[in-house]
Amino acid sequence: MWTPTLANLPRARPIPKYERRLLLFIDFLGFKEVVASTERDPDGLQRLLAAMDDIGTLGEASIFKSQRVTQFSDSVVMSYRVTERSGVFWMINAIALTVISLAERGFLLRGAVTVGDLYHNSRHIVGPAMVKAYEMESKVACHPRVIVDPAVIRLARKRRNEDHTPNEEEAFVRDFMAEDADGHLFIDYISWNAVVAVAGADDYGYPDYLGTLSGLLRNGLAHEDVRVVAKFLWLLPRYMDAVERFAAIPEDAPYRLENPENCGFIESLPRFEDLAVAARARISEASKGKGC
């Protein structure tokens, strides 16, 4: 009969504890429909897998040892300990680059960034912060946007670069964001300032980037599901603002004189007035415009 000895008894494991962590939860908007479309499009699966690889590299070049990244299907969770100096800036920077890169491929993302208690290792992600991030993504973000908890801004001010004042650190972080009509901050992946001046995308590629968003809007505003239509009605005025800012550049302005092709192409992009009117009418009739 086998008798346990001290040598073969299981060793006591350290008691797991939550850590205060900065957390991102992000996923593809309309992933079920995206997957369904790959059955009809021979190249669709390849594009989708490339996009999933792209989102999976989120934070790959991080300088923080406490970083943890977990991908499952179309979703990614990334977290750092709150003690990492300028951790907020580097996470927001990584998110912005990823959101822009995926939009350029024709995929929109939705998600949330928050702070809280979390247990995150190579096998497990659990804790109040994960629950909060999921609820922010699914119940608050609603539209194709990644929203940012105000607690994240407070953390940026507290755990800042040692060469920055709290106001300077906050300003660097906020450069990637815009404030929405509902008061929520979100990662701006639409305006020229956020995409080119802050995130560093190619200025000469920005017209084509807006062109891709234009194509997504055309399909989204005409979608048969009014819940999808509502999401693209959120995107439309932000796209329109980007287009109209170029149209408003004076004829003798240095940028227009140096980049006439950029200005001309962007000014030629569709405004979707008729499609938007029809979309709003459909939503009003169905009374489903407020759902996520």
Asked if the model's pLDDT at residue 1 lies above 60, the reply is no
Using the 3D structure, point to which of 198, 223, 255 is the last residue of a domain: 198
Asked if the model's pLDDT at residue 290 lies above 60, the reply is no
Predicted pLDDT of residue 50: 86
Dump pLDDT digits (tens) for 18-53.
999 999 999 999 888 888 888 888 788 888 888 888
Dump pLDDT digits (tens) for 86-117.
999 999 999 999 999 999 999 999 999 999 99
Cβ atoms of residues 104 and 212 within 8 Å: yes
Q: Tell me the pLDDT band of 287, cut-offs 50, 70 and 90.
A: low
Task: Tell whether 178 and 225 lie within a shared domain.
Answer: no
Best CA proximity match to 192, nearest among 179, 182, 205: 205
Strand 109-120 with 19-28, pairing: antiparallel
% of the chain surpassing 90 pLDDT: 76
Q: Which amino acid would we find at residue 276?
A: A
Is 159 part of a structural domain of the chain?
yes
Best CA proximity match to 124, nearest among 77, 87, 58, 81: 77
Q: Tell me the pLDDT band of 73, cut-offs 50, 70 and 90.
A: confident
Q: What are phi and psi of 118, to 5 degrees?
A: -150, 145
Task: Write down the mean pLDDT value for the chain.
Answer: 91
Run of H or E including 23 = strand 19-28
% of the chain surpassing 70 pLDDT: 92
Here the CATH number for the domain that contains residue 35 is 3.30.70.1230
Q: Which amino acid would we find at residue 106?
A: G
Asked if the model's pLDDT at residue 288 lies above 60, the reply is no
Is 267 part of a structural domain of the chain?
yes
Strand 177-179 with 146-148, pairing: unpaired
Q: Which amino acid would we find at residue 19?
A: E
> What number is the average pLDDT over the span 166-193?
97
Question: How many separate domains does the chain show?
Answer: 2
Task: Tell whether 165 and 219 lie within a shared domain.
Answer: no
Task: Tell whether 74 and 216 lie within a shared domain.
Answer: no
Asked if the model's pLDDT at residue 250 lies above 60, the reply is yes
Dump pLDDT digits (tens) for 229-243.
999 999 999 999 999
Predicted pLDDT of residue 173: 97
Run of H or E including 69 = strand 68-72
Predicted pLDDT of residue 292: 64
Is 215 part of a structural domain of the chain?
yes
Lowest mean pLDDT among 31-45, 134-148, 170-184: 31-45
Cα Rg of the chain (Å, integer): 22
